[in-house]
């Protein structure tokens, strides 16, 4: 116990001593090179998690393997997801290529829906920001919009918006707009009071204040909202495929279709994995756009020199 304490103290002392050592011109410890070794080492922890996950999956599949019923297990083995789901990679009717074919309409619905959510969401936040009264008048409904179980209002949505592209976009917007609205509103309201005073002294119009001060101030928050919304938009597009049968069929249709028979389950999993990968890609793209937009000025965007 004491030995451990001593090591700790030594480590603490060392880290305390470091700055002064750097200050004086004594040979300084080389900072670890950001080379490949370090990057590989950073990959090890998530890799271990993944392997553990696979192990549990195998264990579960094996335990549930129902030979007597001559059925395949409810959960296919992970390797089956690859051999029967993703492969062949480039066959027109089996494997990965049809999955990509079904991905395309979903991606389209996601992107259009997300764009509508951003434009509409920012506009609603701007309106709410006009006055406390406006905020009180609208905010509860934004919350309700978020909590409405979409499954329950499917018939209504079909009546109102049909069951093709329109209704799919409505579902995506219903899910994706809330984070955009709340984050943007938060950003607009967090605008620095002294900055407001500065603009007041210049006797600017409401519009100029919004365009030159509040919207740029809110940008990091808005981007954070869009980032959350991007994941929701993907889910919305897939969920819409489950409920609405007409129009271009997306990956949701593929997943639901391959869910019916146990023999098709590997394909279902391949489709699901591809769809989540698309969600991850969306998340990364929005993250990259954010970093680019605010890299020069915002604390959250770390600058490398």
Partner 1 sequence: MTDTATASDLPGTAPSPRLRFEHLSMVFPDGTHAVDDVSFTVDPGDFVTVVGPSGCGKSTLLRIASGLTEHTGGVCDVNRDSIGYVFQDATLLPWRTVQKNVELNAELQGVAKDERQRRAAQAIELVNLVGHESKYPKQLSGGMKMRCSLARSLVLNPEVFLFDEPFGALDEITRERLNDELISLFNSEKFAALFITHSIAEAVFLSTRVLVMSARPGRIIGDYAIPFGSERPHDIRFEPEFAEICGMINNDLKEAHS
Which residues contribute to the site for partner 1 (CB under 8 A)?
Answer: 192, 194-195, 197-204, 208, 212-213, 216, 219, 294, 296-299, 303
Question: Whose Cβ is closer to partner 1: residue 4's or residue 194's?
Answer: 194
How far apart are CB 187 and partner 1 at their closest, in Å?
Answer: 13
Question: Whose Cβ is closer to partner 1: residue 204's or residue 273's?
Answer: 204
How far apart are CB 132 and partner 1 at their closest, in Å?
Answer: 17
Instruction: Quickly list DSSP for 45-107.
Output: HHHHHHHHHHHHHHHHHHHT--TTTT---SS--HHHIIIIII-STT-SSSTHHHHHHHHHHHH
How far apart are CB 220 and partner 1 at their closest, in Å?
Answer: 10
Tokens of 30: 């080389």
- Alpha carbon distance 33, 7 (integer Å): 26
How far apart are CB 120 and partner 1 at their closest, in Å?
Answer: 24
Does residue 135 contact residue 186 with C-beta atoms inside 8 Å?
no
Does residue 174 contact residue 114 with C-beta atoms inside 8 Å?
no
Question: Whose Cβ is closer to partner 1: residue 153's or residue 219's?
Answer: 219
Does residue 244 contact residue 202 with C-beta atoms inside 8 Å?
no
How far apart are CB 224 and partner 1 at their closest, in Å?
Answer: 16
How far apart are CB 210 and partner 1 at their closest, in Å?
Answer: 13
How far apart are CB 188 and partner 1 at their closest, in Å?
Answer: 15
The single residue listed with the structure tokens 């093709």 is 164
- Alpha carbon distance 256, 268 (integer Å): 8
Measured CA angle at 213 (ends 210, 219), to 5 deg: 90
Tokens of 249: 């069929």
Does residue 162 contact residue 171 with C-beta atoms inside 8 Å?
no
Question: Whose Cβ is closer to partner 1: residue 108's or residue 196's?
Answer: 196
Question: Whose Cβ is closer to partner 1: residue 212's or residue 256's?
Answer: 212
Reading phi first (left if > 0) and then psi (alpha if -120 to 50, else beta), residue 95 is in left
Question: Whose Cβ is closer to partner 1: residue 186's or residue 242's?
Answer: 186
Question: Whose Cβ is closer to partner 1: residue 214's or residue 241's?
Answer: 214
């Amino acid at each position: 116990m004491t030995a451990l304490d001593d090591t700790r103290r030594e480590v603490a002392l060392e880290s305390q001593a470091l700055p002064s050592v750097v200050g004086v011109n004594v040979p300084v410890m080389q900072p670890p090179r950001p080379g490949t070794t370090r990057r590989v080492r950073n990959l090890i922890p998530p890799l271990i998690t993944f392997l553990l996950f696979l192990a549990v999956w195998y264990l579960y599949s094996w335990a549930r393997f129902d030979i007597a019923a001559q059925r395949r297990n409810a959960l296919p083995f992970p390797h089956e997801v690859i051999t029967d789901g993703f492969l062949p990679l480039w066959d027109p009717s089996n494997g990965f290529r049809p999955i990509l074919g079904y991905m395309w309409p979903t991606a389209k619905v996601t992107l259009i829906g997300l764009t509508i959510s951003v434009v509409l969401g920012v506009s609603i936040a701007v309106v709410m920001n006009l006055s406390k009264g406006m905020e009180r008048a609208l905010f509860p409904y934004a919350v309700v919009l978020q909590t409405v179980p979409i499954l329950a209002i499917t018939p209504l949505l079909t009546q109102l918006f049909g069951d093709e592209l329109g209704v799919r976009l409505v579902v995506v917007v219903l899910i994706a707009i809330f984070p955009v609205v709340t984050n943007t509103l938060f950003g607009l309201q967090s605008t620095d009071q002294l900055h407001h005073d500065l603009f007041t002294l210049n006797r600017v119009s409401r519009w100029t204040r919004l365009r030159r001060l509040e919207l740029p101030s809110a940008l990091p928050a808005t981007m954070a909202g869009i980032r959350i919304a991007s994941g929701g938009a993907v889910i919305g597009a897939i969920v819409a495929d489950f409920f609405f049968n007409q129009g271009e069929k997306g990956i949701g249709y593929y997943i639901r279709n391959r869910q019916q028979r146990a023999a098709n389950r590997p394909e279902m999993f391949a489709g699901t994995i591809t769809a989540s990968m698309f969600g991850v890609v969306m998340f990364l793209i929005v993250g990259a756009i954010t970093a680019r937009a605010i890299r020069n000025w915002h604390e959250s965007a770390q600058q490398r020199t």
